């Protein structure tokens, strides 16, 4: 097709010499319209036919015709008249199929195939009329190029282009978990690598191996808790798109280890004695994944001063301190992994000064013991008893049996005495008027102050009254006496007959009794305390004391 045929006239006789005309035919006898020259260009209509030319010779005598030889069958290069058509579901794993389309051509063509990802990427090995979609096709469109070939040549035609190829998610590289496998640290997972179209979205679930899901652990990060200690951890990543979902597990961590606790919060330090104190603390938010077994307090020099074997907030008793010395304290927590950092320093405290010896010359008189005005067993003051020769008088409590306002304290004899510092109260008036050793703050002891004198300066050896002696202000606090406790004082000068001994008789306290006609007294023979004695009807002894703050 498209080639030109040429005919000769052949050889003729005739006079005069003839002229010639031509008519081309498709065998066996179909004249070709307009084909009337000595040449003829083959057209598509000639395909599959043989061609010959009829030559007519004409002169005045007449005309005659002769047919040429017949050509071989006319061939035609294939030509596409209807494009190939690709059908099938555009999902990875599904099969696409192409038709050949419609073609002309002589002889009839044979067909070959090549599949493409748009716009022009040939797919290796995809050379049949069907093609199974693979992961690499996801997100692309596909078409097939059909090539028709015969003896005359070849031609190609492209099919329709498919819709974009979809794919359910497929994991090609596992998620990776990173981070330190220690309580309180944060683990992080990657998504891993996935194929799939449309592009998948991701969700997360963390697990304790082998398969225990961790409630609420559904993000790309996970903070390790004490429940994880001793376990290994991994994350399951789920990829989802319109075609479905798939999961992939990350690597598994090392066994989760404990770490030291966070640092406790320091509280308040409090002096409790000459060599003791306390310090409070608040437990840290994190125990490091292992229960805290103890809290330890150290002083400013790092010397351990006390500990408490518990896991919660509390107060540590401190011992081994030096009297009259200033301290600050820090606290640390301990678990199976070790010790936390040290807390901030506490407030500064100063331990109480050394306690004088009972009966020792002290602050204008003689040391008689300690008292706690707070009633917590922690000494706040040292009591000083006046010398016998200048600090004791035998007299009534009051000149009448009427109420004396402001004299009801069991422990603050100075306040009581100041409320009755007049001549109608001879005992208190005597004590408040003393100046001994340069001190003018002498007073009549209150009920519980007087009890301290008896306990420490008991002059004799008689058994004690077991219904007396309860004293919440004593240091330490104590209940009633036993028959043998307290015993006779160790201070020689205060034993019966001694230079400053208290008499084995009754002594006034500055505390008025519930019945306003009476006042409290204590017997220094057996320690009996009573509030049933008339203020004006009894001449008891008044022994002055003073107090020194600690």
Q: Are 81 and 42 within one domain?
A: no
Q: What is the pLDDT of residue 47?
A: 85
Q: Are 25 and 146 within one domain?
A: no
Does some domain include residue 390? yes
What's the token pair of residue 219?
């993000």
Cis peptide before 105 (omega within 30 of 0): no
The pLDDT confidence band at residue 2, using thresholds 50, 70 and 90, is confident
Does some domain include residue 254? no
Cis peptide before 198 (omega within 30 of 0): yes
Task: Say if residue 120's pLDDT is above 70.
Answer: yes
Task: Give the C-alpha separation, 236 to 228, whole Å.
Answer: 17
Does some domain include residue 346? yes
Task: Say if residue 300's pLDDT is above 80.
Answer: yes
Cβ atoms within 10 Å, residue 374: 12
CB within 8 A of 475, min separation 6: which ones? Answer: 369, 370, 371, 372, 377, 378, 379
Q: Are 300 and 243 within one domain?
A: no
Q: What is the DSSP string of 416-428?
A: HHHHT-STTSHHH
Mean pLDDT calculated for residue range 377-381: 92
Q: Are 450 and 489 within one domain?
A: yes
Does some domain include residue 127? yes
Q: Are 279 and 226 within one domain?
A: no
* Beta carbons of 203 and 240 less than 8 angstroms apart: yes
Task: Say if residue 1's pLDDT is above 80.
Answer: no
**pTM of the entire structure?**
0.55
Q: Are 228 and 270 within one domain?
A: no
Task: Give the C-alpha separation, 315 to 531, whole Å.
Answer: 40
Does some domain include residue 457? yes
Of 249, 280, 310, the residue at which a domain comes to its end is 249
Residue-number span of the structural domain to which 372 is assigned: 361-549
Q: What is the pLDDT of residue 48?
A: 85
Q: Are 430 and 502 within one domain?
A: yes
Of 195, 215, 249, the residue at which a domain comes to its end is 249
pLDDT tens for 399-443 read 999 999 999 999 999 999 999 999 999 999 999 999 999 999 999
Q: Are 107 and 183 within one domain?
A: no
pLDDT tens for 10-48 read 999 999 999 999 999 999 999 999 999 999 999 888 888
The pLDDT confidence band at residue 60, using thresholds 50, 70 and 90, is very high
- CATH value at residue 187: 2.60.40.2700
* Beta carbons of 208 and 236 less than 8 angstroms apart: no
Q: How far apart are the first and last CA of the chain?
A: 130
Does some domain include residue 500? yes
Mean pLDDT calculated for residue range 135-156: 96
Q: What is the DSSP string of 321-378?
A: PPTT-EE-EEEEEEETTEE---------EEPPPPPPPTT-EETTEEEEEEE-TTSSS-
Strand partners of residue 333: 295
Mean pLDDT calculated for residue range 242-260: 96
Strand partners of residue 233: 208
Q: What is the pLDDT of residue 144?
A: 99
Share of the chain above pLDDT 70, in %: 100
Q: What is the pLDDT of residue 23?
A: 97
Burial class (CB in 10 A: 0-12, 13-18, 19+), 61: exposed
Does some domain include residue 355? no
Task: Give the C-alpha separation, 327 to 304, whole Å.
Answer: 12
pLDDT tens for 121-135 read 999 999 999 999 998
- CATH value at residue 342: 2.60.40.10
Strand order through the sheet with 529-534: 392-395, 540-543, 506-512, 518-523, 529-534
Burial class (CB in 10 A: 0-12, 13-18, 19+), 302: exposed
> DSSP alpha helices (H): ranges in 357-474?
388-391, 413-419, 426-432, 447-457
Q: Are 408 and 539 within one domain?
A: yes
Q: What is the pLDDT of residue 74?
A: 85
Tally of domains in the chain: 5
User: Tokens 């376990």 map to which residue?
Assistant: 231
Of 223, 249, 275, the residue at which a domain comes to its end is 249
Task: Give the C-alpha separation, 320 to 55, whole Å.
Answer: 144
Mean pLDDT calculated for residue range 182-190: 96
Q: Are 274 and 241 within one domain?
A: no
Mean pLDDT calculated for residue range 69-74: 90
Q: Are 373 and 328 within one domain?
A: no
Burial class (CB in 10 A: 0-12, 13-18, 19+), 376: middle
What's the token pair of residue 28?
């066996």
pLDDT tens for 494-532 read 999 999 999 999 999 999 998 889 999 999 999 999 999
Does some domain include residue 356? no
Q: What is the pLDDT of residue 550?
A: 85
Cis peptide before 119 (omega within 30 of 0): yes
For residue 391, which of 371, 412, 373, 366 has the smallest C-alpha distance? 366
Q: Are 456 and 502 within one domain?
A: yes
């Amino acid at each position: 097709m498209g080639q030109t045929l040429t005919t000769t006239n052949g050889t003729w006789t005739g006079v005069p010499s003839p002229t010639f005309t031509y008519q081309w035919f498709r065998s066996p006898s179909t004249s070709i319209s307009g084909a009337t020259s000595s040449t003829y260009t083959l057209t598509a209509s000639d395909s599959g036919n043989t061609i010959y030319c009829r030559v007519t010779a004409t002169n005045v005598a007449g005309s005659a015709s002769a047919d040429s030889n017949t050509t071989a069958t006319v061939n035609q290069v294939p030509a596409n008249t209807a494009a190939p058509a690709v059908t099938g579901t555009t999902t990875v794993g599904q099969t696409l199929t192409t038709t050949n389309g419609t073609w002309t051509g002589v002889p009839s063509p044979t067909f070959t195939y090549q599949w493409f990802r748009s716009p022009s990427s040939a797919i290796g090995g995809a050379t049949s009329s069907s093609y199974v979609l693979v992961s690499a096709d996801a997100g692309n469109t596909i078409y097939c190029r059909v090539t028709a070939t015969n003896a005359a040549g070849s031609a190609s035609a492209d099919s329709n282009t498919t819709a974009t190829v979809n794919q359910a998610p497929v994991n090609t590289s596992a998620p990776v978990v990173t981070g330190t496998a220690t309580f309180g640290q944060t683990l992080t997972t990657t998504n891993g690598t996935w194929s799939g179209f449309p592009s998948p979205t991701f969700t997360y679930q963390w697990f304790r191996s082998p398969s225990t899901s961790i409630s609420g652990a559904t993000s790309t990060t996970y903070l390790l808790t004490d429940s994880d200690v001793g376990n290994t951890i991994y994350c399951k990543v789920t990829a989802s798109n319109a075609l479905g979902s798939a999961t992939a597990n990350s690597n598994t961590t090392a066994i989760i280890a404990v770490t030291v606790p966070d640092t406790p919060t320091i509280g308040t330090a409090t002096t409790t004695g000459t060599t003791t104190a306390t310090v409070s603390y608040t437990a840290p938010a994190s125990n490091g994944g292992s229960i805290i077994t103890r809290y330890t307090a150290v002083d400013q020099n790092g010397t351990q001063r006390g500990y408490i074997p518990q896991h919660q907030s509390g107060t540590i008793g401190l011992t081994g301190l030096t009297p009259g010395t200033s301290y600050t304290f820090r606290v640390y927590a301990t678990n199976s992994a070790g010790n936390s950092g040290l807390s901030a320093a506490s407030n500064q405290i100063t331990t109480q000064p050394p306690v004088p010896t009972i009966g020792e010359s002290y602050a204008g008189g003689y040391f008689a013991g300690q008292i706690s005005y707070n009633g917590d067993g922690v000494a706040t003051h040292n009591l000083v008893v006046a010398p016998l020769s200048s600090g004791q008088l035998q007299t009534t409590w009051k000149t009448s049996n009427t109420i004396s306002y402001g004299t009801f304290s069991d422990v603050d004899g100075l306040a009581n005495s100041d409320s009755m510092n007049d001549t109608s109260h001879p005992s208190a008036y005597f004590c408040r008027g003393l100046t001994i050793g340069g001190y003018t703050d002498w007073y009549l002891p209150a009920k519980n102050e007087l009890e301290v004198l008896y306990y420490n300066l008991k002059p004799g050896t008689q058994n004690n009254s077991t219904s007396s002696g309860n004293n919440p202000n004593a240091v330490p606090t104590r209940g009633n006496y036993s028959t043998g406790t307290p015993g006779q004082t160790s201070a020689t000068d205060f034993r019966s007959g001694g230079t400053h001994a208290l008499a084995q008789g009754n002594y006034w306290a500055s505390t008025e009794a519930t019945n306003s006609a009476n006042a409290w007294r204590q017997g220094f023979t057996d320690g009996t305390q009573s509030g049933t004695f008339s203020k004006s009807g009894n001449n008891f002894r008044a022994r002055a004391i003073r107090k020194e703050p600690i």
